[in-house]
A and B are shown apart, each in its own frame.
Chain A
Amino acid sequence: MNKKVFEGIKVAEFAWVVVGPSTSRYLADHGATVVKIESHKRLDTNRINGPFVGGVPTPDGSMFYGKHNPNKYCISIDLQHPNGRELARKMIAWADIVTESFSPGTMEKWGLGYEDARKIKPDIIYFSSSMQGRGGPHSSYAGYGQNAVNFSGFSEVSGWPDRLPSPPYGAYTDYVSCRFAAFALMAALEYRRRTGKGQYIEQSQFESSLQFFAPPVMDYQINGRIMGRNGNRYPLAAPHGVFQCQGDDRWIALAVMNEDQWQSFCRAIGKPELAVDKDFATFADRKRNEDALEKIISAWTIKYSVEEAEAILQKAGIPSNVVEKPSDLYKDPQLQHRKYFVPMDHAVMGKQKYEHQACFILSKTPRELYMPSPCIGEHNEYVFKELLKMSDEEIAEHLIDGSITSEFTGSMTSSF
């Protein structure tokens, strides 16, 4: 049995919702000990929003929360309470890495900011993530990835030229941002290993997300071109699109990337004459007549089930794929082969399928999901006694004064 990669690395996670929790999963899924610091008085937004097992909202019943938090422990403390903040300081003293994603200034107000943390733990690596970063006129901006997907440019360029944008679903930029953060945390660990120094890592999710959108922005700044919308078309390929097949809302994505593939495509759809047709023979012809070309392809795809169309095109060597629905993904043989979904037994939700966060498999130390997402406060005893070595009396005092929270009395009313 190989050692776990990040065995011994300790993360105190004050961060919530998506970016911070997704970031720490890269460490947790390779062996780090991650403790989430939550409160019954202010539930993680993901605990309030479903899907809920059984359809009834409860703080421990959301697989939206579940998805972002397997392999982690959870304690419940009230950071508004001075004795809760005392516990938070103990967690910082215990940790190698602190993550937080409150509005800028909140942790500082509580005496838990980076400058406070390094007094407690001089080599701490402290990660703050916010929508638009520290400093500047928009630093206080509060929101979600759902907001950032718009001001980062992704919405404007997505959809049809004759309509308003079709923005990317949900909190897309959160899933972009967490990648940069995970890489940076590991680089900071490496720097600390070599020098003994910790540091402060500060993320503007806006700035991280723009890395996935840099060429269009540079194109404006250099050439003055404002990027618009063009459906599923791509300047360097034709045909390139999503076409309807038989069945209920079934679609296939296909892309003909070069001339060889075009020849093969024409034969595969039973129209070898297209390859020499003056309207479609060359790439330039196909671009010029793309509307007509797409009509011809639609007339072909609609005769087949989406699986048949994919099989015919793959056999011909054409990049193509069923537009997979959630129900397809859970039975996708490739995902099964790589064991992407891992069933685990959750105390309240029962057996649930968790997704890997790391999308890579290391040959000697493969990713591992071994513990379901935590119920709120589930590991209070373990963390306070075993990790922080607190006595039963001390713990009891925190329970009595309410700085360890144990009861949820708020509203589980969902907003979406």
Chain B
Amino acid sequence: MSTINEEKSALSHVRILDLTEGGCMLGGKLFSDMGADVIKIEPPGGSPSRIPPYYKEIEDPQKSIFWFAYNTNKRGITLNLRTPEGQELFKKLAKTADVILESFGVGYMDSLGLGYKEISKIKPNIIYASITPFGQSGPKAGYKASDLTLWASGGFLNDCGDPDRAPVWIGFGPQASFFGGAEAAIGAMTALWYRSRTGEGQFIDVSIQESTMSSNMNVLPMWDVNGVEFKRVGAVSFVAATRVRQPIYFKCKDGLVMILALGGNDPYASSSERLVQWMKDEGMCPDWLAKLNWWKDYNAAVLKQDLADKVGQAIEAFTMTKTKAELYEIGAFGKYKQILVAPVSNTRDISEDIQLKARQFWVNLPHPELNDSLPYCGPYIRMSETPITLRKRAPLTGEDNRKIYLGELGLSDASLKALQDKGVI
């Protein structure tokens, strides 16, 4: 376990109190991996975000892989914010902090006397980010929400799925909360910059609904500009103007690949030509396809559905003779370089990916209490002067109580014991 090199850390001078749960915990991780001192506060007994999957399938909150993933480099304490003593301790901590991140419901922290208004009285330059489903005010501020319903509220759920079944979310569910957590972190960094110029803190009102919306890509303006109401299309590329569905996913020997077999303009048309060349070289290209002009005959303006389907079938007859790895390695990097091909990877493929290994992406962190060391996703970005480092696994519940309450807030052993007995810590 290495310690942080403060000289080489962008944010080692910044302290964060992290009260977020679920996917929103990613926000604190952006800070902690960048070198900030992030104190994750859990209720006594442990956070509700210690959810599956579990280490070696053992259902134990201290073995939550989800928790591990989003709390690297954080310190952990327990504190019951619903008790008067807990509230006083939180205020003491707040005086030492630069940023508070929280994802409780609208008004909850206010009801405890720990909202921005109260905290800014005792720590005037505090930066206080609240992540809520729809923001602090407005007609839906009181709506009950979950990751799935938020995915629906921002429109991206409507974009995805097969047209003959229900819209479908991204199978690993907390995506909406991840966006909310990330937006809170960016908002807090923005506010830190403002504070460095003016000395002033401020309140940050994050809406998860909004946070999911940029992913809609071109779908919203399709409606506003052209009156085309997008309907989910499944695994094809959709031409909004003509509603032609261009096949881009193809079965192969051991799974599925995407090939952006499109025309009209580059880089697509040239990529498609290289694919056709490959098919020719292997004697698997029908004459009509060899003669197809990808610029003129296969562009979105003139393309008809029956030609798109015919091309798709011919390509799939070819891909069925290859594996995902062959299509990817030869198509994207080998002889036919830069065919726009991507394997549909599962979690094993990702774990074995040679590029991630070559860049030494996976980082092993020791878990002494498990007598094991576990693989983590490495830095989210690479920085030459202030590298993001994974220094320490996520905290166990209350792991840093003594260090922070005794060492930093100056509590005595006896009073810590008393607070623990009363369920405050």
Contact = CB atoms under 8 A, between A and B. Distances in A.
Nearest to A316: B144
Interface stretch (B84-92, B280-288, B379-387, B406-414): B379-387
A156 B258 CA distance: 11
B207 to A, nearest CB: 6
Give the most central of A6, A139, A169: most B CB within 10 Å.
Answer: A169
B153 A324 contact: yes
A179 B186 contact: yes
B215 interface: yes
B66 interface: yes
B228 interface: yes
Contacts of B138: 333-334, 337-338
A320 interface: yes
Nearest to A320: B149
Interface in B143-179: 143-162, 165-173, 175, 178-179
A253 B170 contact: no
A160 B161 CA distance: 9
Contact of B66 (A137, A215, A249, A415): A215
A67 B218 contact: yes
B8 to A, nearest CB: 9
A164 B235 contact: yes
A204 B186 CA distance: 19
A337 B209 CA distance: 13
A137 B153 contact: no
Contacts of A152: 345, 350
A244 B186 contact: no
Give the most central of A188, A241, A244: most B CB within 10 Å.
Answer: A188
A21 B209 CA distance: 21
Given A142-B267, A157-B171, A361-B205, A186 B190 contact: yes
Interface string A143-185: 1101110111111111110011111111110011001111110
Interface string A351-371: 011011111111111000000
A349 B225 CA distance: 9
A235 interface: yes
Given A167-B258, A179-B186, A235-B52, A137 B346 contact: no
A239 B207 CA distance: 25
A328 B157 CA distance: 13
Nearest to A127: B381
Contact of A207 (B180, B345, B379): B379
B292 interface: no
A360 B203 CA distance: 10
B342 A213 contact: no
A395 interface: no
Interface in A194-213: 194, 197-204, 206-208, 210-213
B63 to A, nearest CB: 10
Interface string B182-216: 11111101111110111010111111111101111
A31 B186 CA distance: 15
Given A51-B225, A413-B300, A321 B152 contact: yes
A335 interface: yes
B10 interface: yes
A251 interface: yes
Enumerate the 7 nearest inter-chain pairs by beta-carbon distance, A residue then B residue, closest first.
Answer: A157-B171, A337-B138, A136-B358, A326-B223, A360-B187, A199-B385, A63-B221
A180 B30 contact: yes
A232 B158 CA distance: 13
A340 B150 contact: no
Contact of B172 (A49, A146, A216): A216
A36 B400 CA distance: 47
Give the most central of B149, B209, B224, B375: most A CB within 10 Å.
Answer: B149
Contact of B153 (A63, A237, A321): A321
B347 A249 contact: no
A186 B160 CA distance: 33
A406 B251 CA distance: 45
Interface in B223-276: 223-226, 228-235, 237-241, 246, 249, 251, 256-258, 260, 262-265, 267-269
A327 B226 CA distance: 12
Contacts of B353: 151
Nearest to A4: B194
Given A138-B355, A187-B11, A215 B240 contact: no
The secondary structure that dominates the A interface is: mixed
B351 interface: yes
B350 A210 contact: yes
A52 interface: yes
Contact of B359 (A136, A220, A254): A136
A169 B232 contact: yes
Given A188-B386, A199-B386, A359 B160 contact: no
A51 B134 contact: no
A105 to B, nearest CB: 13
What band does the interface of chain A fall in when counting residues whose beta carbon is under 8 Å from B? Answer: 35 or more
Given A232-B166, A322-B152, A338-B207, A158 B160 contact: yes
Given A227-B346, A235-B52, A253-B157, A206 B264 contact: no
Contacts of B139: 333-334, 337
Contacts of B349: 151, 153
A117 interface: no
A242 B166 contact: yes
B121 interface: no
A372 B56 CA distance: 53
Contacts of A203: 381-382
B129 interface: yes
Contact of A146 (B260, B351, B356, B382): B260
Contacts of B338: 140, 142
A232 B148 contact: yes
A20 to B, nearest CB: 13
Contacts of A364: 194, 200, 202
Contacts of A200: 383-385
B211 A359 contact: yes
Contact of B143 (A53, A156, A321): A321
A232 B144 contact: no
B390 to A, nearest CB: 12
A109 interface: no
Contact of B168 (A150, A186, A198, A242): A242
B375 A361 contact: no
B419 interface: no
B340 interface: yes
B264 A414 contact: yes
B187 A411 contact: no
Give the most central of A138, A214, A231: most B CB within 10 Å.
Answer: A214
A360 B131 CA distance: 9
A199 B388 CA distance: 13
